[in-house]
Structure 1
């Protein structure tokens, strides 16, 4: 006789917390969805991905800055790292890094 499983939804429509047993019973979407629907989902996901870079890609780095510089740039809100990059670009116009 198969084990009795606890319903995922109660009488009010609330979904209970999933257990490890519930997760082990899940199957991959490709096995349970209509192939046409699954194909459409894959296409939608592919369109949502970022395309190739149009300009030169920035490089990730670690840099040590004084607390005052960090505070000043972070205080300007989101995009503060780009503003540091722009400030360094401006500095390179009139200075040599040597």
Structure 2
């Protein structure tokens, strides 16, 4: 048996004549690369919206702020062990943790100003 396995088809819909069995498909030239556009621009909006997201990190919402934070190494290791999105999970847990603090700040602000329109959410 040969140590080199024959490459598999990328999908069941790829025919033998459309599959590059011998690796002779040339690389794209600089001119060809220059004519390419991002999928967001080249595809109809409904088709692009149906594509799965390829990014590993969720898009930041407008109210998020990039910060540098020092955490205990065991905290970071535990969250990283949960897989992709671990930073988002830290944010969710911190958001839950500040709710009591936010309520206390809200009460103090109302009592010191006499107004209730300065809420911390």
Structure 2 length normalisation: TM-score?
0.39
- TM-score normalised according to structure 1 size: 0.46
**Higher RCO, Cα 8 Å, sep 6+:** 2
